[in-house]
Amino acid sequence: MSHSRGTSAENPEPESTLDRVKTWYHVPALLLVFGFMLWNRAQNYSSYIVDGEVLFGAPDPWYHYRSTMYVVRNWPATMPFDPWTYFPYGTRSGQFGTLMDQVFGTIALIIGLGDPSAHTVAMVALFAPPVMGAVAAIPTYVIGRRLAGRIGGVTAAGILALSAGVFLQRSLVGVYDHQVAEGLLQVTAILSVMVALSVAERDKPVYEQFLDRDVPALRATVGYSVLAGIAISLYLWTWPPAVLLLGILGTFFLLWLTLEFVRGKSPEHTAIAGAVTMGTVTVLQLAVLQRLTISATDHTLLQVLLAFAVGAGCVFMAWLARFVEANDYDRNLYPVIVGGILATVTILTAVLTPDIFGYLSNQVLRVVGFTTSPSATQTSVGEATPLRNPGRLYQYHGLALFTAIIGAALVLFNQVFDRDASAERFLMVVWFAFILAASFTQIRFGVYLVFPVAALTAVAVGYVVRWTDFSLDDGVEAYEVITIASVALILFGTLLLVSPTAMAVGGSASPGQEPDAWSESMEWLDENSPAEGAYGTGGNGSLEYYGTYTDREDFTYSTGSYGVMSWWDYGHIITVQGERIPNANPFQQGATTAANFLLAPNETQANAVLNETDENGAATRYVAVDWKMANTYGQGGGKFFAPPRFYDTSNVSQSDYYGTVRSRQNPQRYFNYRTQAYYESMVVRLYEYHGSAMEPQPYVVDWETATTRNGQTVRTSPQESPAVKPFPTMEAARNYTESDATSQVGGFGAQPGERVPALEHYRYVGSSRTSAYESGAHNQFQLIESAFGGLPSQQSQTGTCAENQTTMPIGNRTYCQPDGAAGVMDHTNPAWTKIFERVDGGTIEGTAPANSTVTASVQMRNNVTNESFVYRQQAQVGADGSFEMTVPYSTTGYDNWGTAEGYTDVSVRAQTPYLFQVTENGSGAATTQVTEGQVIGENTTASTVDLTANDTSTNETVTNDTNETTTDGTSGGSSTDGTSDGSTTDGTPTERIAQPSAEPTP
């Protein structure tokens, strides 16, 4: 008789082989998974090492590196307080300098034989995420095996290995962040709780055994429960907001103990495991208690009280079950009583301690509330934004996500019909529900999602294996092989084929260009500014970089200490790479102050913001801005959208600064036009104009309104004319807008609609060597906006551009734009990052025809980038013929005041003296010098200039840095005004803008 399907049971030799396969197949499978995960996460490590220096790709890894370095230098202590961030207060962060930093600091000490170099520590930090990510496969496998046998364990580990989700993204090389440690430690904690539950279900401990001191009977339950408490505590020690897990476990115990009692079983066994576990957590959290407050971001009473409450709740529910049973009450009253008590406690908390209740309820909503309308400040933090595109979950987890949902449904179905259903499996469902809700609420919680997905997928696979009766002992039927192969193909096929795949994500790991560019500017700041504590005094400074400082609310900085103002994203890199103190940091400390400064509509208000940070001779001295901070295209990396969400000096929104005009032909194409408020903001006046005055140019942004299918009103480009129109004069441009309500003068590129006055107390002093033109995202949106204005550009076929063209690469393509057109979009050469110094400014006193307007100009050059620009300022002459002007740029005396004297070695230096002209008729030109000592306040005398004569004066009196009057022997010359307002463009706007060209398709 023919056996077409065949079996292997009749052949003893193959059977022996199959036995070995059955016994050991999971070992090579797990090793393969581990090896692949480690390789995939670390394969691109070389991109993070630039010129021998390790560069991290996000803000938090920089500070974790600092925290780890502190451990290395002060082992095993962690940093109690850090005055090197959040000037002028300093800070303590409960989420940094935790167990993760201690572990890898210890590893660095071992590798470095007790004295590791900074590079060794950085290399350990570089590879730490891939190692933690790969190690996570072990508890994931064990969970899967406990739920569905070894095939379930291999399935769960395989899902983890091939998922392209947040956990993979956070465990790539160079992402030295606590999020990967969170994922590893949470799945380990869940596994430990599973073991404790199963032991309690097996041994069935009861209260009387404690009274009888029945140690042998209690040893396993108590021991494994203590281990579970330790595992949970390790998670909390690494990340204090891990109270989320306490909430998950509290909900599980509440539901499970209730379900057990209603089903006629005793909840006491599980309650004992829960009480011992949470009691252990309570004790261990008391050991690291830092503050007697209620906060999730540090080791406070919240972790202690919540763990205690869950443990006490387990004890109470076990007692209540005995009480109900002893009094022969209906078991169905049990959930009613428990629910009533919880409702009463909630109401009393809300009434008696409304602040605590408000904090707790707000935290719950922020974490698992499916928040559809998060706060404006929350949405400015990328990882805290809600998951707006659920389709990403399919991209990350493929069909495993839906398989997990099926697995959860099967578990719940089993709970209904099986009185002896597993507590471990029910825990998986509760875990999955919480993490799924958290992932929708904040995308950062997606770092956990792959673990319950993998676990419940293993459950579903386990059911399939049982239903097909797949067994190597009884022979393998063909249909069984087909079924199992089909399941594997469905689960893993989508993960291997749906973009992005895990290998694609791993292969794309890169820090990007930003860390390198900021590293250049921070290197400049470190080398060319005085040490902290030495501003204005010189010397080596007085603030030890890895010093130990007491945690305090009133830290006082010494005279000569100073802050660096920037957006909060860059605080950690300023601390670590620049070894300077930022006013704001990625903890969002100082974010409102930074926003108030960056968006200040005038210099007086900006100064007032910084004056609030000054104390006892310590002050904010520098401002660091990059192209992203002044860029309105969020999809292209721009960050200008964020400060309006924190600004609190007045009520403003994004629409007060810019709006969007879409292409009528292709609505996906758009450009942002800017309002005058945008051009008058400090960040734009610094980055775009270097503090110089900027005159309006006759451009008009024109649009029409249209209604979309969903009823939304949008701006579109005009049907029969370009969206950006040049005019020969400002008068013609304003006449057009007066008759067209849907248009405005200016707002295109760097061109304002009204005059922007010069700054008097902020000067450009240094920058990165890297240009914004090296960013494809910057170039893409600039070329699209240029096309709306008809500015020419073209793709280079050779990859190079002519001498008078600006090179703008996008991916593997290179676009060329005439320098004149690029100058319309960027008034000055856009170095990636620019450093400005806050100075007293030098005073110039002069005489000129009464009631005239005087313009001063000076040609400046940045020796880092070889960039030249003109600084201009105007002054109104009084009726007595006198005027006074404060200027931020010096023209001489640079060598007299450098870092040795406690000041800045400026790289942006004058090429000419100041040239003064009467604006109305251009007559009475004269020049004068302003020394470095005058600008920084060491010399309080004023330079003088006389414009009453018609001829150009070449022998004006100036002062040197010793408060003495000298004679300037510089020969006079013609005006330094070249092209209009220092622009690199030529001719009138009508001449500069060519006919509309096709929009680039980068």
pTM recorded for the entire structure: 0.87
Residues 72/105, Cβ–Cβ less than 8 Å:
yes
149 alpha-carbon distance from chain centroid: 40
Tokens of 414: 């089993």
Percent of the chain with pLDDT over 90: 60
DSSP summary character for residue 879: T
d(CA 153, CA 33): 11
Q: Three-state DSSP class for 89?
A: coil
Instruction: Determine which helix (DSSP H) or strand (DSSP E) holds 261, and give its type and residue range.
Output: helix 243-262
DSSP tag of 617: T
DSSP-based helix, strand, coil % in the chain, nearest 5: 50, 15, 35
Q: What average pLDDT does range 932-954 have in this prediction? A: 82
Sign of CA dihedral 915, 918, 922, 923: negative
Task: List Cα–Cα distances, 396 to 372, 461, 499, 821, in angstroms.
Answer: 22, 20, 8, 42
Q: Closest Cα partner for 38 from 127, 155, 143, 163?
A: 127
pLDDT digits (tens, 9 = 90+) for 28-79: 889 999 999 999 999 999 999 988 889 998 889 999 999 999 999 999 999 9
Res. 770: pLDDT tops 50? yes
What rounded mean pLDDT belongs to the chain?
86
Domains of the chain in sequence order:
136-506 (no CATH), 839-971 (2.60.40.3390)
More confident call, 584 vs 973: 584
Backbone angles phi, psi at 840, to 5 degrees: -65, -35
pLDDT digits (tens, 9 = 90+) for 85-97: 999 999 988 788 8
Instruction: Please state, in angstroms and rounded to a whole number, the distance separating the CA atoms of residues 957 and 952.
Output: 14
pLDDT of residue 829: 79
- Rounded to 10°, the helix 12-24/26-42 angle is 50
Cα 872 to the chain's mean position, in Å?
37
Among 232-236, 453-457, 890-894, 981-985, whose mean pLDDT is lowest? 981-985
- Contact predicate 265/272, CB 8 Å: no
Give percent of the chain above pLDDT 70: 88
More confident: 941 or 496: 941
Cα pseudo-dihedral 652, 654, 659, 663, rounded to 10: -160
Q: At 608, is the secondary structure helix, strand, or coil?
A: helix
- Return phi, psi of residue 464, to 5°: -65, -45
Instruction: State how far the Cα of 99 lies from the Cα of 106, in Å rounded to an integer.
Output: 10
Count of CB atoms situated within 10 Å of the CB of 62? 25
The CA–CA distances, whole Å, from 445 to 180, 337, 388, 397, 436 equal 11, 34, 14, 15, 8
304, two tokens: 């202690």
Chain-centroid distance of CA 677 in Å reads 26
The pair of structure tokens assigned to 514 is 């930003």
For 47, counting Cβ atoms within 10 Å of its Cβ (0-12 exposed, 13-18 middle, 19+ buried), the class is middle
Q: Taking a C-beta distance cutoff of 8 angstroms, is the pair 381, 59 a contact?
A: no
**Distance between CA atoms of 848 and 921, rounded to whole angstroms?**
12
Up-side HSE of residue 359: CA atoms within 13 Å toward CB? 9
Between 79 and 922, the more confident residue is 79
Q: Which of 220, 216, 215, 226 is nearest to 193 (CA)?
A: 226
**Sorting pLDDT into bands at 50, 70 and 90, what band is 481?**
low
Task: Give 531-563 pLDDT, tens digit per residue.
Answer: 999 998 887 777 899 999 887 777 889 999 999
- Separation in Å, CA 544 to CA 94, 693, 834: 21, 40, 27
Q: What does the alpha-carbon distance between residue 147 and residue 331 come to, in Å, rounded to a whole number?
A: 30
Comparing CA positions, the residue from 680, 956, 978 lying closest to residue 857 is 978
User: From residue 673, how far is each of 670, 717, 752, 786 by CA, in Å?
Assistant: 10, 12, 10, 12
Burial (Cβ within 10 Å: 0-12, 13-18, ≥19) of residue 643: buried
Q: Are 924 and 918 in contact (CB under 8 A)?
A: yes
User: 241-245, 320-324, 445-449, 506-510: lowest mean pLDDT where?
Assistant: 506-510
Instruction: Kindly list the distances between the CA atom of residue 192 and the CA atoms of 1, 188, 200, 516, in Å, as whole numbers in the listed order.
Output: 53, 6, 12, 42
φ, ψ of residue 352 to 5 degrees: the values are -85, -35
- What does residue 404 show for φ and ψ, rounded to 5 degrees? -65, -40
Which residue intervals of 629-675 are DSSP H helices? Answer: 643-646
Of residues 224 and 355, which shows the higher confidence score? 224
Peptide bond before residue 722 is cis, with ω within 30 degrees of 0: no
Distance CA 840, CA 931 (A): 12
What pLDDT band is residue 973 in, cutting at 50, 70 and 90? very low
**Averaged pLDDT for residues 739-757:** 91
Closest alpha carbon to 37 in 197, 141, 148, 168? 168
What is the spatial distance between Cα 975 and Cα 971, in angstroms, rounded to a whole number? 13
As a whole number of Å, the end-to-end CA separation of the chain is 68
Close Cβ partners of 642 (under 8 Å, ≥ 6 residues apart)? 380, 567, 595
Q: How confident is the model at residue 282 (pLDDT cuts 50, 70, 90)?
A: very high
Helices (H), 136-242: 137-162, 166-170, 178-203, 207-211, 215-238
